[in-house]
Amino acid sequence: MHSKNIQLFKDKFGSNLAILAHHYQSDAIVEHADLVGDSLQLAAAIPELEAEYIVFCGVDFMAETAAVLAGPRQKIFSPDLGATCVMADMAPDYLVNNILQKLNHHQRVIPLAYVNSSIGVKALCGEYGGSVCTSSNASKMLTWALTQGDQVLFLPDQNLGRNVSARCNIPDSMTQTIDIRKKGSNINPANLASKKILFWPGVCAVHFRLKAGNVMEIMHKSPEALIVVHPESHPHVVDMAHASGSTSKIISFVEQAVPGSTIYIGTEDNLVLRLKQKHPDKNILPLGAGYCSNMAKITPELLSSCLENLSSDNAVQVNPSLISNANKAVETMLRVTAS
Ligand code: 13P
Ligand code: SF4
């Protein structure tokens, strides 16, 4: 019934409506999407879309980023803004601001936030001369950020930060995870001065479930199997895998594997199961990350009722005082990535 309703609204609005879905959405949502992509592809698509009504099926930071990039005619909608990201919530903007102020007394610290962060954190990145990144462009953005000041604060995902720093050949001795307990009062910037990169201690609740011990067991049991994981996974897991990358990179890895391959995939299960259905000639298995409970909040029922209520009153609102700096941070990412 919901599916039929969604189709009726799509017919009614035609090209004036675009439904965007992240790869971690369920098949019941993906089947209605005009565009399915990773975080970078979906953000980069916004300025190119002609539709006035853009419905974003993903978590709140994705819809907020879309609202920052939207043109004056465009309105962004989310079927459920209660679909938040556990990792983004680990870096509240007031705390990021306190810590940035403290660190910047000592030397020029450039914040580089994973897009999985609040609009307040993105605005701080713009204000402090930093930017944002996704898992697709994190190496390029980290390389850029290192040229902008004395030190980079990478947040909120410590695992992605560590994996990308390793790819940029930054030795572990030049990095440190900061202590954000007690509102950062334990941080002594002088003791961190020799570090090139500081990491915020955030983590993805889904990729956190992937353990190096399990990967080792699989490699022992099935030495022929290929293992591909998302870089939000622990560096020990990433180091053991045959490949790591964004959701779109994982998709390409599976597409390029020869028929008959056994492939363990370490990312959200909706994507793993979709790849399994799409590639019956390959033996595709989940590594055990499971589902993201927040991505799962978007249901056909909520999508249908969102489409029923497409009015300015229900569009995603971003605090106007944050838009300019958040936009600066996101536009910098799009510019540096395209260069
Ligand atoms: P990507 O699609 O950019 O790899 O992002 C993964 C993710 O965790 C989104 O929440
Ligand atoms: Fe956040 Fe992880 Fe869920 Fe992505 S998969 S929305 S990073 S908790």
Residues 21 and 163 grouped into a single domain:
no
Is the predicted pLDDT of residue 329 greater than 90, yes or no?
Answer: yes
Instruction: Supply the pLDDT for residue 311.
Output: 84
Residues 35 and 138 grouped into a single domain:
no
Report the SS3 class of residue 18: strand
Closest ligand by atom to 293 CA = 2
Residues 15 and 95 grouped into a single domain:
no
> Rounded to an integer, what distance in angstroms lies between the CA atom of residue 106 and that of residue 4?
59
> Any idea what the CATH number is for the domain that residue 24 is in?
3.40.50.10800
Closest ligand by atom to 84 CA = 2
- Residue ranges of alpha helices (H) inside 56-186 are 60-69, 86-89, 93-104, 119-127, 138-146, 158-167
Structural domain count of the chain = 3
Instruction: Supply the pLDDT for residue 313.
Output: 83
Q: Compute the mean pLDDT over every residue in the chain, rounded to the nearest whole number.
A: 96
Q: Which range marks the domain in which residue 229 is found?
A: 207-286
Report the SS3 class of residue 29: helix
Report the SS3 class of residue 310: coil
Please name which of 154, 212, 221 lies closest in space to residue 229, comparing C-alpha atoms. 212
Ligand 2 site: residues with CB under 6 angstroms? 24, 59, 85-87, 116, 204-206, 232, 268, 292, 294-295
Instruction: Supply the pLDDT for residue 40.
Output: 85
Per-residue pLDDT of 180-224, as tens digits, reads 999 999 999 999 999 999 999 999 999 999 999 999 999 999 999
Per-residue pLDDT of 14-40, as tens digits, reads 999 999 999 999 999 999 999 999 988
Is the predicted pLDDT of residue 257 greater than 90, yes or no?
Answer: yes
- Contact between residue 92 and residue 209 where contact means Cβ atoms under 8 Å apart: no
Is the predicted pLDDT of residue 106 greater than 90, yes or no?
Answer: no
Residues 145 and 190 grouped into a single domain:
yes
Residues 223 and 186 grouped into a single domain:
no
Residue 66 lies in a domain: yes
Ligand 1 mutation target, pool 59, 89, 115, 134, most atoms within 8 A of CB: 134
Residues 53 and 184 grouped into a single domain:
no
Q: What is the pTM of this model?
A: 0.94
Per-residue pLDDT of 114-167, as tens digits, reads 999 999 999 999 999 999 999 999 999 999 999 999 999 999 999 999 999 999
Q: Which residues pair with 175 in a beta bridge?
A: 197
Report the SS3 class of residue 24: coil
Residues 153 and 117 grouped into a single domain:
yes
